[in-house]
């Protein structure tokens, strides 16, 4: 494309709401254009990348025997009412009524639609397994849309759904799609990692779920890695072990100590001159399921944090909330001095499994300004339940309880999930099995955030000058630049442009009437893999052009004759 | 694709709401699946056709120097408020509020969005002309969605918008896109026609607009053709001339005649023994513009029909309504006996230009049970305005006033339109021209109903057995069928399948365990261009296979050796 005739320009201004590099760079490099809060138009340069992402995903999904279809963006409320999600999806689903007062929504996800197609089509186990997918627009009405494409409200997603008669078949297809996902992100040239994810309270103990994470310092997600054991998990899901000995040696009986006005565990430990890992913090939570409310006292080592998701999954409740001051008082507890011993109120007590229940700890005394020393769960409690509730940390021990883990940051671009029969049961899908009995099939679902991949690729691949596109996602491959005013050289560059295009390369030719600084800045910002530069001054001296590699900054001098061969060689090396 | 592993099946049931062939056939041939009123999911077989349509459109738009982008499906209400269309778009635009109580809508069209992109990007005349396009989901909340994809609520559209500094440039690009559209529908193999369309009251006298109509007996639109003069127009827009002499010779004065209880023009003419083309019918209409209401008396030859759109455009009003009985009384007129003569009320009188104002007619007498004979406009009226208001008819005369016109039926699949500066002015777009003065650019807009093309192609190409796909739109090209149980022959067909696929053909292999009747019925219904059949009985006799051409029913006998060459030959002939 000749820039003089293209619809592309860069911007100097960084939008005030652009907090992360990909957001800033996509706007500045003229890839997207904001249309409203969380709504982005894809300009021609940005849309080329989106279509390349779609094409890679499409090819690998087809290779994995998935069938592409297209479901409606607007879906009837009835289907969601049938599955029971019309109420539970909450505010992120945009609901409205049409002229005939029928309930409609813009699909944030398509389990209902695809299961409806399935039940109207498939009758026998012989037709399974079956995987269907689409690449389509989704909408989630985020309260606070931010980070540009990373948390936009409207976005493009590839969502796939598989159907199976049994768990073995589900596992096989799940593995097949796992491998397809690996190929997809490898082909895109992204540094990514597959981690175990949280299956939520819905997942049964044997339902697998994995996230595909593009590694980037700016990533929203924390990922736990143990290289020795090859363990990788989202921090929400990770099970690790403390590397230190916790609690103090059990010597004497519990003993009250005055801790006036000391409400944080750090204050208390400092005052009592005890390490925080010899104390327990007591947290009060309320779980809500339907009309039922329950209160729970959660005990963790003083310097550990609660992983609320683990607690919520363990309790299998609809909602989980920290108890209010009021609720704490009503339970007969004293805020800041809550503890597990000498409790009068009936409350469910949970100990994190990191607590060595045979050793002693400082805990709240359940009286104003009082803590207890030498509390030991096994000795001082009638009963308690140890559960894994703590948030994993860097330097914890991995699954082998020997090797240490590290934390990396990532951006979730893919998620695969074994759904079980939740939706097929809800929508009353019945398939005849080999024995002529009807059964609700099992499902898997498999998502990739197409537009999010573009943002994640930039988060991972950029420098202070701009984007550094991986070959597979770059809108074009070659940024051809003529510096100078020689009409003879200009014609040379025109010919290079035509030759390179004929060779099948995707070339931008900056034929605009502008200075070298302007052209180079634009080229660095857009970040195509290579720049080919003919500068009048150098060329007239030694008849040489330059090939500049965006990622390394390397500059190769080549003659006119070598150019085409060398360009191909360099690009092949970058693919 | 092997049907045993594909996700495709046909249906015997015709949905009760399927009134037209394309709707019935798309459901029966397993191309689409209804998700709700006016909402259709594209099943894998149907989606292949949609993607082929998209690809042809994309290639020709790119060739016409248009740049592809993607605008959001959900757009902010602000933009529509700025253009003034938030109120005027009416009920077909699906409007709603998000969680933050911001106005949003699902775009039925994108003039506002594209003009917003334009004004944030383009500053100088040097960047023009510019054409931008997208292929995207649209939604129109039709009161009565029907005809399947033909009048669905959610649909895919290609919409393009061009920007220009002057009318000359707009005309040039308009011509370029006109030709691109011709190539698009030619490449699709459709029998289509380009007709002049109605520009509405918005269009200035020199603003062009054309419709691309796929010809089909079931088409909703009536099209007027004059072959001699090469004139083609939508009936709404067509200007034709009556082929007969109207009115009677002017001989005597106006004369009252009693016409008791005869309220229709036919009754009156029969009673008075005068031909209907010697009578005038009088219609009373109300025009509304803002708060202003006006009444109009429209006179047409007795057997002509009013073209309401012509009247509305002439009056340049917001709404046009037939006057109610009440309003007719209030005007002092007598329903059934309204006429232009001896009028007491002040009303705007319009004569259709087909009325020969020097001849005489029977007209209403403005009294109960009374008509007037020998009314002659020029003699008996103080003043009147002749306007083209009649609906064109078959056998009318064309622009040369000599050749007769015919009527054909069509389905509108494309529409190109010169918008002028309506949107650039409304959104306050200012571009510097060559003299450094700012100017609101002119726009053109260019739509193609992608999903509608699929339906229109079927309306034009089907028979009682099913669809007859044109090559370019067929989901696959070859339907390979093995009839019989010979495992030796089955292996032969497997090899043909692989060879044909390797040659780049798009092949369906019906390897299902089913009888010949079932397989042939499915093949005829789906309607791929050719079927390749190996029947055990015939093959074991003479070692010959059959190539069946779906459109003509022709059957070619070929040997195994000839097959691949012959298939290519036949398909090339169909392309």
DSSP B405: P
Q: Give B-chain residues touching A68 at CB under 8 angstroms.
A: 44, 47
**B474: Cα within 13 Å, side-chain hemisphere:** 30
- For A113, the closest chain B residue by CA position comes to B35
DSSP assignment of B2-48 = BTTTSS----SPPPTT--SHHHHHHHHTTSEEEEETTEEEE-HHHHH
Distance, in Å, from the CA atom of A91 to the CA atom of B97, rounded to the nearest integer, reads: 12
The backbone torsions φ and ψ at residue A5, rounded to the nearest 5 degrees and listed phi first, read -110, 0
Percent residues over pLDDT 90 in chain B: 83
Closest chain A CA to residue B11 = A121
Q: φ and ψ at B109, to 5 degrees?
A: -170, 160
B contact test, residue of A35, A55, A91, A101 with most B CBs within 10 A: A35
| C-alpha separations of A385 from A8, A131, A200, A205, A349 in Å | 62, 42, 21, 19, 7
The whole-number average pLDDT for the span B176-186 is 98
Tokens 């009405």 — which residue? A141
Give the chain A residue nearest B131 (alpha carbons).
A7
What span, in angstroms and rounded, lies between the C-alpha atoms of A164 and B153?
33
What percent of chain B stands above pLDDT 70? 99
- Is A139 close to B37, i.e. CB distance below 8 A? no
Shared domain check, A452 and A570: no
CA of A131 to nearest chain B CA: how many angstroms apart? 9
Domain with A173 in it: 17-234+408-458
List the single range of A148-152, B52-56, B108-112, B114-118 with lowest mean pLDDT: A148-152
Question: What CA–CA distances, in Å, run from B114 to A222, B104, B386?
Answer: 39, 16, 41
Query: Helix and strand tally (H, E) in chain A?
Result: 16, 31
B189 and B75 share one domain: yes
Which residues 248-307 in chain B show a CB within 8 A of chain A? none
In terms of phi and psi (left: phi > 0; alpha: psi -120 to 50; beta: otherwise), the region of A450 is alpha
Strands A406-420 and A67-68, how do they pair?
unpaired
Residue A203 pLDDT: 55
Decide which of B387, B417, B442 is a domain's last residue: B387
- CATH number for position A310: 3.90.960.10
CA B271 – CA B373 distance, rounded (Å): 12
Name the residue in chain A with its Cα closest to that of B451: A70
| Together in a domain, B491 and B424 | no
CA A288 to chain CA centroid, nearest Å: 27
CATH number of the domain that residue A553 is part of = 3.40.50.800
Tens digits of residue pLDDT in B406-459: 999 999 999 999 999 999 999 999 999 999 999 999 999 999 999 999 999 999
Give me the pLDDT at residue B205, please: 64
The model's pTM: 0.92
Domain shared by B413 and B301, yes or no? no
DSSP category for residue B303: T
The answer to whether the CB of B188 falls within 8 A of the CB of B212 is no
Does residue A247 lie within any of the structural domains? no
- Which of B31, B98, B122, B506 should be substituted to probe chain A, the one whose Cβ sees the most A Cβ atoms within 10 Å? B98
* Partners of residue A241 on adjacent β-strands: A397
SS3 A320: strand
Which token pair is A129?
């397994």
Choosing from A358, A387, A416, the residue where a domain stops is A387
Flag if A35 and B139 touch (Cβ within 8 Å). Answer: no
Q: Which of A69, A104, A143 sits opposite B42 (nearest CB)?
A: A69
Is the CB of A40 less than 8 angstroms away from the CB of B6? no
Q: Does residue A445 share a domain with residue A484?
A: no
> Residue written as tokens 């309003």?
B327
Structure confidence at residue A13 (pLDDT):
87
Three-class SS state of B471: helix
pLDDT one digit per residue (tens) for chain A, 575 residues: 999 989 999 999 888 888 899 999 999 999 999 999 999 999 999 999 999 999 999 999 999 999 999 999 999 999 999 998 998 787 788 899 988 889 999 989 999 999 999 999 998 999 999 999 999 999 998 888 888 888 899 999 999 999 999 999 999 999 999 999 999 999 999 999 999 998 765 556 678 999 999 999 999 999 999 999 989 999 999 999 999 999 999 888 999 999 988 878 889 999 999 999 999 999 999 999 889 999 999 999 999 999 999 999 999 898 999 999 999 999 999 999 999 998 877 899 999 999 999 999 999 999 999 999 999 999 998 888 899 999 999 999 999 999 999 999 999 999 999 999 999 999 999 999 999 999 999 999 999 999 999 999 999 999 999 999 999 999 999 999 999 999 999 999 999 999 999 999 999 999 998 999 999 999 999 999 999 999 999 999 999 999 999 999 999 999 999 999 999 999 999 98
Instruction: Kindly determine whether residue A73 and residue B73, on different chains, have CB atoms separated by under 8 Å.
Output: yes
Give the Cα separation of B375 and B373 in Å (integer): 6
Whole-number pLDDT of residue B14: 86
Distance, in Å, from the CA atom of A399 to the CA atom of A356, rounded to the nearest integer, reads 18
Domain-located, residue A58: yes
Instruction: Kindly state whether residues A366 and A224 are assigned to the same domain.
Output: no
Once rounded to an integer, what is the mean pLDDT over residues B277-289?
95
| Distance (Å, whole) CA B197 – CA B213 | 11
Sign of the C-alpha dihedral, residues B94, B100, B102, B106? negative
Q: What is the mean pLDDT of chain B?
A: 93
- Do A412 and A504 belong together in one domain? no
pLDDT band at B201 (very low <50, low <70, confident <90, very high): low
**Main-chain phi, psi angles of A410, to 5 degrees:** -145, 165
> The CATH number of the domain where B126 resides is what?
3.30.930.10
Whether residue A540 lies inside any domain: the answer is yes
Tokens of A486: 């020689």
Query: Mean of the pLDDT values across residues B188-217?
Result: 86
Q: Which helix (H) or strand (E) holds B314?
A: helix B308-315
Query: In chain A, which among 73-102 make CB contacts under 8 A with chain B?
Result: 73-76, 78-79, 91, 94, 96, 98-100, 102
Determine, yes or no, domain membership for A6: no
Partner-chain contact A36 B116, CB within 8 Å: no
Is residue B246 assigned to a domain? no
Contact A120 B37 (CB under 8 A): no
- Whether residue B201 lies within 8 A of chain A, CB to CB, comes out as no
Residue B42 forms contact with A (CB below 8 Å): yes
Q: For residue B90, is pLDDT > 80? A: no
Say if residues B228 and B400 touch (Cβ distance below 8 Å). Answer: yes
**pLDDT digits 0-9 by tens, B457-487:** 999 999 999 999 999 999 999 999 999 999 9
Contact state of A41 with B72 under an 8 Å Cβ cutoff: yes
Last residue of a domain, one of B387, B419, B443: B387
**pLDDT, position A342:** 83
A297 plus A358 within the same structural domain: yes
Question: Contacts by B537-545 with C-beta closer than 8 Å and gap 24+?
Answer: B537/B483, B537/B484, B539/B489, B540/B486, B540/B489
- Per-residue pLDDT band for B339 (boundaries 50, 70, 90) equals very high
Question: What's A280-295 look like in SS3?
Answer: EEEEEEEEEECCEEEE
Whether residue A61 sits in one domain with residue A145: yes
In a domain, B393, yes or no: no
Answer whether residue B91 shows pLDDT above 80. no
Which of A377, A381, A383 minimizes the C-alpha distance to A355?
Answer: A377
Give B-chain residues touching A5 at CB under 8 angstroms: 65
The domain tally of chain A equals 3
Q: Are residues B421 and B496 in the same domain?
A: no
CB A331 within 8 A of CB A345: yes
A91 and A159 both lie in a single domain: yes
Between chains, do B132 and A76 touch, taking CB under 8 Å as contact?
A: no
Q: Is the dihedral of CA B109, B111, B112, B113 positive or negative?
A: positive
Rounded to the nearest angstrom, the minimum Cα separation between A513 and chain B is 12
Say how many residues make up chain A.
Answer: 575
CB contact, 8 Å: A133 with chain B?
A: no
Segment holding A325, helix H or strand E: helix A325-330
Q: Is residue A241 part of a domain?
A: no
Together in a domain, B49 and B195: yes
Q: Does B50 touch chain A (CB under 8 A)?
A: yes
Q: Is residue B34 part of a domain?
A: yes
Structure tokens at B56: 């042809």
Partner residue facing A120 (CB), from B33, B72, B120: B33
Tell me if the bond preceding A373 is cis, omega within 30° of 0: no
């Amino acid at each position: 494309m000749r820039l003089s005739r293209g619809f592309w320009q860069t911007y100097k201004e960084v939008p005030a709401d652009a907090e992360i590099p990909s957001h800033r760079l996509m706007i500045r490099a003229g890839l997207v254009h904001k249309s409203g809060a969380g709504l982005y138009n894809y300009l021609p340069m940005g849309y080329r990348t989106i279509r390349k992402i779609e094409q890679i995903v499409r090819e690998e999904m087809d290779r994995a025997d998935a069938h592409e279809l297209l479901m409606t963006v607007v879906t009837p409320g009835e289907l969601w009412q049938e599955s029971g999600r019309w109420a539970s999806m909450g505010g992120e689903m945009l609901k409205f009524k049409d002229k005939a007062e029928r309930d409609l929504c813009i699909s944030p996800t398509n389990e209902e639609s695809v299961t409806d197609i399935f039940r109207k089509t498939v009758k026998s186990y012989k037709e399974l397994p079956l995987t269907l997918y689409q690449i389509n627009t989704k909408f989630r009405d985020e309260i606070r849309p931010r980070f540009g494409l990373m948390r936009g409200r409207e976005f493009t997603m590839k969502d796939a759904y598989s159907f199976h008669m049994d768990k073995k078949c589900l596992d096989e297809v799940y593995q097949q799609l796992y491998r397809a996902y690996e190929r997809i992100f490898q082909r895109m040239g992204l540094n990514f990692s597959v981690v175990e994810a949280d299956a939520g309270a819905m997942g049964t103990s044997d339902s697998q779920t994995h996230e595909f994470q593009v590694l980037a310092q700016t990533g929203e997600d924390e990922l736990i890695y143990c290289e020795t054991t090859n363990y990788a998990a989202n921090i929400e899901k990770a099970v690790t072990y403390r590397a230190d000995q916790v609690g103090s040696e059990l010597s004497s009986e519990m003993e009250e100590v005055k801790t006036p006005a000391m409400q944080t565990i750090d204050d208390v430990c400092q005052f009592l001159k005890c390490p925080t890992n010899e104390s327990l913090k007591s947290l009060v939570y309320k779980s809500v399921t339907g009309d039922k409310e329950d209160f729970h006292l959660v005990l963790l080592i003083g310097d550990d944090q609660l992983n609320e998701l683990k607690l919520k999954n363990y309790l299998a409740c609809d909602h989980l909330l920290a108890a209010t001051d009021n609720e704490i008082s009503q339970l007969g507890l004293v805020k800041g001095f809550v503890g597990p011993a000498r409790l009068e109120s009936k409350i469910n007590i949970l100990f994190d499994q990191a607590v060595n229940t045979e050793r002693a700890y400082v805990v709240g005394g359940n009286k104003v300004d009082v803590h207890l020393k030498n509390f030991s769960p096994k000795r001082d409690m009638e009963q308690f339940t140890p559960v894994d509730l703590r948030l994993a940390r860097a330097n914890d021990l991995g699954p082998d309880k020997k090797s240490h883990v590290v934390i990396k940051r990532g951006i979730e671009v893919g998620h695969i999930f074994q759904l079980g029969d939740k939706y097929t049961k809800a929508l009353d899908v019945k398939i005849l099995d080999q024995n002529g009995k009807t059964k609700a099939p099992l499902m898997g679902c498999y998502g990739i955030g197409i537009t999010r991949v573009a943002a994640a690729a930039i988060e991972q691949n950029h420098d202070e000058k701009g984007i550094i596109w991986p070959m597979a996602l770059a809108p074009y491959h070659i940024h051809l630049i003529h510096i100078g005013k020689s009409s003879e050289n200009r014609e040379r560059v025109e010919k290079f442009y035509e030759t390179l295009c004929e060779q099948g390369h995707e070339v931008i030719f900056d034929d605009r009437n502008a200075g070298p600084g302007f052209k180079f800045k634009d080229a660095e910002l857009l970040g195509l893999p290579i720049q080919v530069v003919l500068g009048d001054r150098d060329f007239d001296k030694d008849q040489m052009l330059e090939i500049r590699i965006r990622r390394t900054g390397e500059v190769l001098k080549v003659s006119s004759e070598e150019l085409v061969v060398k360009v191909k060689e360099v690009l092949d090396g970058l693919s």
